[in-house]
Structure 1
Amino acid sequence: MQIITNNAGKELKKHGNNAFPFLVSYERLSGYETGSFLWHWHPEIELTYVKKGEMLYKVNQNTFHLKEGQALFGNANALHAGYMYQNQDCQYIPVTFDPKLIYGFSGSALFQKYTEPILRSFSLSAVLLDFSCDWHQDAVEDIRQMIRLDSLHPPMYEFEIIAHLQHFWKVLCSNTLAQAAAPSVQDEENYRRIRRIMSYIAEHYSEKILLDDIANLIHLSPSECSRLFKKCMNITLFGYIQEYRIEQSLDYLENSSCSITEAGLLSGFSDSNYYTKVFTKIKGCTPRQYRKKQEL
């Protein structure tokens, strides 16, 4: 299993339905082929509650260590990915919803005063709810109650979910709204550029990718392009391309009769020895060992 996205990294999964755009999912990192879910984004807000274990949760340039019982607020449109911590599995529950459930309509006071400032703030792309502040307890309890209501579906449960959702937002606003700096034009342009880069890599990962081509795509010099990607994603552009290619190669190793060499070639590695070296560095085992594990 892996998250399905378009070439721009936008997740294609529908979160709830038009009648009630709210979804609770039950996930474990071991359910993904890679033991991780890859970089993606979506216009909905996501509250992630860790039921068992620990995980590393990356949002834009930040990495959060989520532990059992803790939660994380992930803002709308933020790029995010999740990884195992020390190769241990993690069970987690994402609660994903359209922010319209909070504010109703775009001209409302709830939108203009309390929701839009947070939705547009890059400084609040994520908030770790780790009980280091007193208000985290209330926020996490609201998440737990929403999960409970969604599983039981008591009469008029939608009203109760929205009540907890709005209380969660009130608690969040009361404690973070002052930090919600309005995004600069440059911030918005930088993340548009990052998404263009990710889209280009998704389309061309099997080919030779040149830094000059990516830099030209976003109208920056090669050095500026590299600095921008590292600043926004906390990984080098070259490192991201390597990781992306390795993740794509897993499909060839698992679901085809491709040789190891062919799996590397189809994923953008022209040298099989180099493919094995990079694969081992990222995954902790050789491609051949990985394939054997999947066959067990």
Structure 2
Amino acid sequence: MNKLNSEIKRGRYILGVAVGAGISARSASEGGADFLLSLNSGKFRQMGLGSLGGYLSNANSNQFVMDFSLKEILPRVKNIPVLFGLNATDPTIDLRSYINLIKDKGFAGINNYPTVGLFDGKFYNHLKEDGISYDEEVEAIKIAHEMGLFTVAFVFNEYQAEEMVDAGADVICVHLGLTKGGDLGASKVLSLSKSKELVNNIFNLVEKKTTSILKMVYGGPIQNKSDIQFIYNNTSCDGYIGGSTFERIPSEEAIHKTTIEFKYMSSIEDPILEQLNRSIDSPKDYVKFILKYIEFHYSESISLKDLSEILHVSSEYLSRLFKKEKNISFKEYLISYRLDKFIDIMIKYPNLSMREGAIKVGYFNYVHFSKLFKKRKNISPKNYFISYKHN
């Protein structure tokens, strides 16, 4: 909680990512997520099914989550909290004993998922008659809180929010329904406008009771940066939790796009490969190839060793050749090219964050990039663009 609150004080929003596979967990962690949630729907999404798969009797939810989390999630990420998606209404478990098991296995906390909060009407009434209700989810959050675990409570209305606050939840997250978008998205979702109203009503109640709880939103119509920005601008939201937004939709789009590109290829070659087809035998040809390669691949990992293997010459030879022709080392040229490209990109796309701009030119560690920029330009990236705007 101290870590999350310090993020907010620094002007950043909190980000939680619901994952169903090790590669998703690792990628989200490296991308800067503040915590991960192992939810049964995450695994069903990885299986090519919709999130509703986690609400049908397809598997023992708690055992399902425990199995894939211990095999795929916890071993892949060491420095980020992982929450267990607990089916608190499972009639075959003793809540206190099972939450104690969750803690012993190394999970940082729990989230009430799957949640009966998504059910209403006759079906929910029948569940309640059988003793299966949201009350058990509240009890689970209360027990976990007493055990010192981090707790994220999905709520659907003001009454549930009030119950979860009293239970000791660390995060009240307004669940806006299944995520819209992608091939498997739900067709009926709350509009952003109605979502804003619901979120404000719930958060107003929470704020009257306490100021120590973090307030987040999940799902519904939110599937891109513009959607969540709308919620941030119009509510007192501290952050966002997403599943399909980070795991399913990007995968669908990327795999679909890449498959089409490979299937329906034109006869036009990559400029780099075209150049490689030509004779490269003079010193200037080698340097020309390297310059062209940097021009097209500056956002990727580039090393002189890789280039030397492509050109079938030693890296030492290429290094001497490059410095002789350009009066600068390969490394210094690459850094200068990327920094200049970063400036061009940030001027062209002023709404990009500095971190995003750095990633676009091949630097995924922004702290390292900022130090590099300041060393070369004698000014930090932030102050550089403040100065640029004034001029």
- With the shorter chain as reference, the TM-score category is 0.3 to 0.5
Which has the bigger relative contact order, CA under 8 A and spacing at least 6? 1
Name the structure with the higher helix share: 2
TM-score, normalised via structure 2 length: 0.27
Name the structure with the higher strand share: 1
